[in-house]
Chains A and B, each alone.
Chain A
């Protein structure tokens, strides 16, 4: 019972390689953070993991079977994908938007059942957004949009969730709100993969970390092992300083001493 990638190679055009033989495994109740610089292939990797892109070499296995053997609907019932924040063109209501998560359950040529609507309302109550009608998704704040996207993934009912930078463009309070919700979702028996630019969130909320550079894994395993000042410098190309509080929480400060201190000194 896991979602696994075995030696994935992928390029958008012949001759180009975005992913170079990457491996990964996520089990239920795991929260796996993928860290790596811009353009290292995180989003491409996520797209391969839910079959939006087909790897050139290697394969993705879902619960022991090749992902390509699942029909679109059967795959969607197992793996949900939460995209980066974006503005949809049409202003669907919050409830209508979350209801789209039930698409793989709606039979061809049919509409959603009362049960589908019940799942939708339940998912909204889990993320704590009121389903009050006539609120267009496009008018929500960034934090609320993230929560509604999560609710849609929950309504989809899969065991695996792929989140593309769910902490981007959010203030620290909303980052905490979203990521502790993700933690709760994972504790319910779901496997979560998160791409992120924030190593501190990986340490605070993750059970596993995959550190990537140039489409390959630099390191992977428990965040205590994988995330260090040295490995982060290797990945991002800037020096990092590790700080630790009394409770043992770790955080990493990138770059040199603060600009203000240097100017005054």
Chain B
């Protein structure tokens, strides 16, 4: 018990320390002059956060108004995608599964692209993406249910729904005006947190809070669910119903993330592997460990995305560039070590 409390406290402290450090890094945009580097010392970051004296107004606005909501969104999205990935990998009994397997991301992308095409304001675009994401998963589930809702059927239904929405996305891009609208869609699809302000943060935090809490409450049932279906049944788990609840929670996490930050690949696939290597496959530890690693990873990547070059590197490009090699490395090391997936 004391050990667990220490680990939880240590993880929170680590997050806080990284957060303070990262809030100091970045650029400051002045009209006509572009982005200058703007380093704010950790002391001044903390002073701005707690509202103490001795910080320039500019630094205070940059830290609390611009960088903090964005950093919190990065933490939240990283934790959401990684924990949803861990839960989906357990549920599908397949370590190569990503949270977007049931068509959530493809559907959300269609929602966002449609919103941009229709010239909706930013919050409505997010809402459209979120609702379409949930709808995509619902469609996969409804389709799978007609054919018995086994895991294989679910995966196939997810593929069908994803490809359908991918085609629709192609259609919206095809009809979008290549000069005014298409760049917006492309930019959104590449993923990024550049538009996140406080107002966009609250719905994200709420959706992710609900989804993650649901997964954590089911952490022990998830272990049984990751076994053979008849075995799980014999252990007293109502397999179909539990699957639906876990899928709903994971979809909530994924849809909220995609709606806020666009399609960010690899985090949901890669981070659970790293977490399993650290704490083993038991979901009671795997879920929080994945969430922590995912949160820190996306926070650091987003810091690079917004400060490495004047302007911005889309987050999805960074995760893709770093994710694939990291994943291959982890995978090969584990396979070389044998003993199955951990």
Contacts and interface: CB of A to CB of B under 8 A. Distances in A.
Interface of A: 47, 50-52, 72-73, 75-77, 79-81, 83, 86-93, 96, 100-101, 103-104, 106, 108-112, 136, 138-139, 156, 162
A93 B230 contact: no
Contact of A136 (B217, B219, B227, B340): B340
A162 B234 CA distance: 10
B223 A111 contact: no
Interface string B193-237: 000000000000000000000000111110110111111011111
B95 interface: yes
The 5 A-B pairs with the shortest beta carbon distances in the complex, nearest first, are: A76-B236, A104-B236, A81-B234, A90-B281, A138-B340
A222 to B, nearest CB: 28
Interface in B308-342: 339-342
A109 B218 contact: yes
B341 A77 contact: no
Contacts of A83: 228, 230-231
Contacts of A93: 280, 282
Contacts of B219: 111
A158 B238 CA distance: 18
Looking at A77, A79, A81, A100, the one whose CB has the most chain B CB atoms below 10 A away is A100
B160 interface: no
B150 to A, nearest CB: 12
A80 B284 CA distance: 24
A87 B338 CA distance: 13
A249 to B, nearest CB: 34
B241 to A, nearest CB: 9
A103 B227 CA distance: 13
B237 A111 contact: no
Looking at B94, B238, B341, the one whose CB has the most chain A CB atoms below 10 A away is B341
Contacts of B233: 50-52, 72
Nearest to A137: B340
B228 A96 contact: no
A256 B55 CA distance: 96
A264 to B, nearest CB: 45
A86 B229 CA distance: 13
A92 B279 CA distance: 11
A51 to B, nearest CB: 7
13 contacts: A52-B230, A83-B230, A83-B231, A88-B340, A90-B90, A91-B340, A91-B342, A103-B221, A103-B223, A103-B236, A108-B218, A136-B342, A138-B340
Contacts, number: 97
Nearest to B93: A89
B235 A103 contact: yes
Given A89-B93, A89-B226, A138-B339, A110 B236 contact: no
A100 B341 contact: no
Contacts of B234: 50, 52, 76, 79-81, 162
A235 to B, nearest CB: 25
A189 B341 CA distance: 38
Nearest to B227: A88
Contacts of A77: 236
Looking at B235, B282, B339, B342, the one whose CB has the most chain A CB atoms below 10 A away is B235
Given A50-B233, A77-B236, A81-B234, 8 more contacts: A76-B235, A83-B228, A83-B231, A88-B340, A90-B90, A90-B341, A91-B339, A162-B234
A96 B233 CA distance: 18
A237 to B, nearest CB: 29
Interface string B107-123: 00000000000000000
A91 B281 contact: yes
Contacts of A51: 233
A100 B223 CA distance: 7
Contacts of B90: 90
Nearest to A51: B233
A101 B235 contact: yes
B4 to A, nearest CB: 10
Given A50-B233, A79-B234, A104-B236, A90 B340 contact: yes
B217 A103 contact: no
Nearest to A156: B235
Contact of A104 (B94, B235, B339): B235
A90 B236 contact: no
Contact of A90 (B226, B235, B238): B226
A104 B235 CA distance: 6
A80 to B, nearest CB: 6
A60 B180 CA distance: 67
A81 B230 contact: yes
Nearest to B223: A100
Contacts of A80: 234
A112 B219 CA distance: 11
Looking at B94, B233, B276, the one whose CB has the most chain A CB atoms below 10 A away is B233
